[in-house]
A and B are shown apart, each in its own frame.
Chain A
């Protein structure tokens, strides 16, 4: 089972009330040094079998039509998660290729 990961973020010029609230909560909990928080969405689309070009193309269209609203959001990326990539549900032992840059 392969997975397509779609990232959606509020447009930079759109105020993000949820991100703002999270940003305000951080220093209260002692997490200092963070200037701003913006909150987006991550969708994991699980595919039966391989991710063909057609399926990936469909996922891109879905990202632009249903998963995001172009008036307020940008689709940041539509990527195939690598085989054996993070299907773990997030237990803190990330081994997916696409996450390495974020952890570095």
Chain B
């Protein structure tokens, strides 16, 4: 079950980099969602103003070098950004003829709690380990935030580079969320009271429901297969 999720989705994971002169600075993960060259990511990893590019992973399946010394990013622009729900829709500027399978979008509302999920991202690409790392978890909770946002909690600690990657229901092999970052209950208190209590590091991570990403795609006039 998990191998086939990994096989199916590792090709969609991209490194989002900001292009600064001759250097590529890794920002976080992103994933392809549409054959017209669209990708989704988390909004908070995007800088306010920067030249951005996507870099695919090295062909997987075998041992690959730890670091890609040089990369050739495909330039992208941010076409839609939903900062409230922390998702953003990117578009590749050149028309490359990308292949995206159909039936990749899942339904978080109908995904039962306890379902095995897999998250994928470039966990350690900040440190120049440029490999897609997959993590297995169960869907721990589906939470409605004070803002009525649909948040998915899953029980594996993720790493800084994972933000912006897909969270995939391993049973039906469809994407149900965009990985945001670690879930810290203390932040909840901090947001409402302004003072942050001591927090133990949490082994729980959070993702935003894919429905907000789908909403952005619909606004862009993209049809979902």
Indicate whether A and B interact: no
